[in-house]
């Protein structure tokens, strides 16, 4: 099942993709939350609840998928947790190539750094070094703490595609990556969430690619993660309580722009980036330049 968050009348809604149509869940029951993350909290991650609701679809509750204005797959989340250096071929192309990580490299991302499917990723005024990172993103469905390998994946509601866009020079200013990973509107997720029962356990063995202007830049399989999702969840929940709607970016394969030869390849105004993951779909975003703060159009209006 594909769960898509979208906007109508300036307000978020979510629905179930059914062929070339979307079943508007809120149209079926207006008492329900309009944010999928909040809905997950209400149902404790029981996806079967959505299946039952979708079966009640009427002509009035259906809308065409074509022309849909996509929103972020969850409108609100308490945490966006990211893994760095989770594929060996990406580790080997970076500054830490001679290390052998014994634990997942964890950092956090801000919600304001992400845009949805088809909305522009913004190259900032402060740097030309905007890089792409194709990633599988796990969506937490129920509260989880002190998980074990046997039950870790039970907290996952589904998966989506992610571009964990990075401003490389700012990332490398210090050993803490935070600023380079959190420029406004530099990453993206979407187009929808595919529920966990539709994919291999833990999202393992899925082909993952990024394409810049149609050229394949990254191509790998999630089977090559050094720290698979279940192990990562066990590690995280030793100290962090995962909540419904939380997002986990699981790391990127080799082939990022900063490692291209003979020269780095940075995303620039007019580019188009695609992230494709088998069984999920294609996340597409154009790239535009940031409008300087002293210009007439505020950043929040760019590309709208």
Please write down the long-range contacts of 48-54, taking CB distance under 8 Å and 24 or more positions apart: 50/1, 50/3, 50/16, 50/25, 51/1, 53/25, 53/28, 53/29, 54/1, 54/16, 54/18, 54/23, 54/25
Using alpha carbons, list the distances in angstroms from residue 101 to 71, 150, 226, 239, 282: 35, 23, 9, 19, 31
Question: What is the pLDDT at residue 204?
Answer: 97
Mean pLDDT across 112-121 = 98
Q: What is the pLDDT of residues 224-254, one digit of tens each?
A: 999 999 999 999 999 999 999 999 999 999 9
> What's the mean per-residue pLDDT of the chain?
92
Domain spans in the chain, listed from the N-terminal domain onward: 2-64, 80-301
pLDDT at 301 over 50: no
**d(Cα 16, Cα 19) in Å, to the nearest integer?**
10
Which are the contacts of 215, defined by CB distance < 8 A and separation ≥ 6? none
pLDDT band at 95 (very low <50, low <70, confident <90, very high): low
pLDDT band at 303 (very low <50, low <70, confident <90, very high): very low
Q: Compute the Cα dihedral for 37, 164, 6, 211 and give only its sign.
A: negative
Question: What is the pLDDT at residue 250?
Answer: 97
Question: What is the pLDDT at residue 296?
Answer: 57
Which is more confidently placed, 286 or 10?
286
Question: What is the pLDDT at residue 302?
Answer: 45
Query: How buried is residue 301: exposed, middle or buried, by Cβ count under 10 Å (0-12/13-18/19+)?
Result: exposed
**d(Cα 248, Cα 162) in Å, to the nearest integer?**
10
**CATH code for the part of the protein at 80-301:** 3.90.850.10
Q: What is the pLDDT of residues 79-93, one digit of tens each?
A: 999 998 888 887 777
How do strand 21-24 and strand 62-64 relate by DSSP bridges? antiparallel
pLDDT at 15 over 90: yes
Q: What is the pLDDT of residues 25-35, one digit of tens each?
A: 988 888 889 89
Q: What is the pLDDT of residues 153-192, one digit of tens each?
A: 999 999 999 999 999 999 999 888 899 999 999 999 999 9
Question: What is the pLDDT at residue 213?
Answer: 98
**d(Cα 34, Cα 25) in Å, to the nearest integer?**
8
pLDDT band at 201 (very low <50, low <70, confident <90, very high): very high
Mean pLDDT across 115-126 = 98
**2: part of which helix (H) or strand (E)?**
strand 2-8
Give the residue among 220, 274, 202 at the shortest CA–CA distance from 90: 220
Q: What are phi and psi of 7, to 5 degrees?
A: -115, 140
């Amino acid at each position: 099942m594909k769960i898509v968050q979208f906007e109508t009348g300036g307000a978020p809604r979510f629905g179930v993709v059914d062929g070339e149509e979307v079943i508007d869940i809120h149209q079926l029951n207006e008492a329900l939350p309009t944010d999928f993350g909040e809905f997950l909290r209400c149902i404790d991650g029981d996806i079967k609840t959505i299946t039952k609701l979708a079966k009640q679809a009427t002509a009035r509750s259906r809308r065409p998928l074509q022309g849909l204005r996509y929103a972020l797959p969850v409108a609100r989340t308490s945490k966006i947790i990211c893994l760095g250096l989770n594929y060996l071929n990406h580790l080997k192309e970076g500054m830490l190539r001679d290390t052998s990580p014994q634990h997942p490299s964890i950092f956090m991302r801000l919600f304001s750094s992400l845009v949805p499917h088809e909305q522009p990723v913004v190259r900032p005024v402060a740097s030309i070094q905007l890089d792409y990172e194709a990633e599988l993103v796990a969506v937490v469905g129920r509260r989880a703490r002190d998980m074990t390998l046997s039950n870790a994946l039970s907290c996952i509601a589904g998966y989506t595609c992610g571009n964990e866009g990075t401003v490389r020079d700012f990332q490398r200013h210090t050993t803490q990556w935070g600023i380079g990973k959190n420029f406004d509107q530099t990453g993206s997720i979407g187009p929808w969430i595919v529920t966990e029962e539709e994919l291999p356990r833990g999202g393992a063995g899925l082909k993952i690619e990024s394409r810049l202007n149609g050229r394949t830049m990254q191509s790998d399989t999630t089977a090559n993660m050094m720290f698979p999702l279940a192990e990562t969840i066990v590690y995280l929940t030793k100290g962090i309580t995962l909540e419904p709607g939380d997002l986990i970016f699981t790391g990127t394969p080799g082939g990022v722009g900063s490692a291209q030869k003979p020269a780095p390849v940075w995303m620039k105004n007019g580019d188009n980036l695609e992230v494709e993951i088998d069984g999920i779909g294609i996340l597409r975003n154009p790239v535009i330049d940031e409008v300087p703060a002293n210009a007439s159009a505020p950043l929040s209006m760019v590309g709208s």
